[in-house]
A and B are shown apart, each in its own frame.
Chain A
Amino acid sequence: MSSTVLFDVPGPRARIRYRAYAVVGVVAIAALLAYVVWRFVDTGQFEGRKWSWFEYKQIQISLVEALGRTLSAFAVGAVLALLFGAVFAAARLSDHKWVSTPAAVVVELFRAIPLVIMMFFFYYGLPSTGIKLTAFTSVVLSLMLYNGSVLAEVFRAGINSLPKGQSEAAYALGMRKTQVMVLVLLPQALRAMLPTIISQLVVLLKDTALGFLITFEELLYWGRQIGGQLQFGRPLIPTMIVVASIYIGLCLLLTWFANYLEKRNRRNKKVIHLDEDKAKQIQLGEASTAAPAGGAAL
């Protein structure tokens, strides 16, 4: 084990002490786990009847359909959020005050309003003005506004942290402002910030589950529905185990992808390395609900 800030490399006595702690820890954790498992067994959560719903073709189909709705909300939401983020990041970096100020206000505003409130607004509030939205559209729009605003800040920070020489050289070559942004700065910022962007997409994927609150029939909604069926003894715990595994699996897949990209980036010399501290601050500050891909040992 390499030495950390807090602890020196353990000597022989410390190693024995650590081993003792480890034994105590393992026993405590095993006891806790055993208790939880016993609660599951004792209340019959592993009985065949509570899992028999899984055998029915119709239920399998409905699970796949629900998963499909979750994934399509994620896909559409992600694309829209990235577009929204790019547009508003560019707008915030504009030299014209009349462009950058409204853009800043919009970005700040949508980062401050809870997603749930936005979804309620679109689904329950707007129709009284004659604008009718489905649950899916409400979910996707809210995801776009919130995550798009966060991504706008990520893009902006990414562009700001690029070395000045990049834009100076581009201007020296006679490029116009738009060209500098689109051809030089954005692609580099995008690649450098990719892990952070994907972390934000993990947040977006998780937030699709908020659609549950406005009766968007996604994965979680499916789990609650099947979990309430009397004919299987109300198997809510089994369905929640299944739903949670799917969500965790999907998010880990995305996180792995982020880490994979980060590793590839590191090998790729074309990418300009950002100031480590700055990048970390962006990750922690802007995407605090995300998995900071750089720091975590995920």
Chain B
Amino acid sequence: MGVLTRNLDLFVNHFANTLKLFAVSGIASLLLGIFLAMLRVSPVPVFRGVGTLYVTVVRNTPLTLVFVFFVFAYPYLEIIKFEFFTAAVVALTLYTSAFVCEVVRSGINTVPIGQAEASRALGLTFTQMLGSIVLPQALRSVVPPMVSTFIALLKNTTVAAGFSVREAGAIRDALSELGEDTLTGMLWVAAIFVLLVMPLTYLQRVLEKRWSVAR
């Protein structure tokens, strides 16, 4: 308990940064991911190809590599300069959006074609069909795995600790600089993560049960 209470400020600051990193890159990857999913389900083959290529490359690249690239290699290209925090957001967003894209895409694909065909037969317009038939059904199968993706993102923010972002993963460095007991400190970090992740996991299970569509 001592390590936590003595360095409460430090813990609060670092976890606040973790949440900030999580929120910013979460929103950004949601937007980029949905855009990519639109590319992947679009009727234009070129767009589908680009979406598929992006997802394939990014999903098979380690996150740490994406970080190394954006923090250390990217500046050599002399395009726009990033702060360390921004670089971390960019890396996390580019990485997570590929997974968001897949979740959205497979969500849309779970809606049986018959549903769309039936609504077209009834004379619904494209917007009506999308808004009142396809998306509500797709949403139900998208949200639970999306929560999992965000849990993964929350945990992945710790990678930024190796790239000069003062978030939860960097608490160890700070504690060891203060000469504190890092072992206990890290148990606390782990415990806080469990506390943060558990409600999300619970939410995901509940949604999965309540929303599972009987087909």
Contacts and interface: CB of A to CB of B under 8 A. Distances in A.
A162 to B, nearest CB: 19
Contacts of B20: none
Which one of B46, B55, B134, B156 has the greatest number of beta carbons of chain A within 10 Å?
Answer: B46
Interface stretch (B4-12, B26-34, B81-89, B191-199): B191-199
B215 to A, nearest CB: 7
Contacts of A120: 169, 172, 186
Interface of A: 1, 3-8, 10, 14, 18, 21-22, 25-26, 29, 39-40, 42-43, 45, 108-109, 111-118, 120-121, 124-126, 128-129, 202, 206-210, 212-213, 220, 223-224, 227, 234, 236-237, 240, 243-244, 247-248, 251-252, 255, 277, 280-281, 284-286, 288-289, 291-292, 295-298
Query: What's the dominant secondary structure at chain B's contact region?
Result: helix
Interface in B115-167: 115-116, 120, 130, 134, 144-145, 148-149, 151-152, 155-159, 161-162
A252 B145 CA distance: 23
A62 B198 CA distance: 42
B63 interface: yes
A31 B152 CA distance: 34
A113 B193 contact: yes
Nearest to A223: B68
A252 B56 contact: yes
A54 B172 CA distance: 37
Most B Cβ at <10 Å: residue of A40, A213, A284: A284
Contacts of B55: 296
A243 B204 CA distance: 36
Contacts of A5: 108-109, 111-113, 115-116, 134
Contacts of B41: 4, 6
A4 B60 contact: no
Contacts of B47: 21-22, 25
Given A129-B183, A213-B162, A284-B145, A240 B106 contact: no
Interface string B27-70: 00000000000000101111100101001110111111100110
A285 B102 contact: no
B186 A289 contact: no
Contacts of B115: 5
Contact of B43 (A1, A121, A251, A289): A1
Given A120-B186, A292-B106, A213 B161 contact: yes
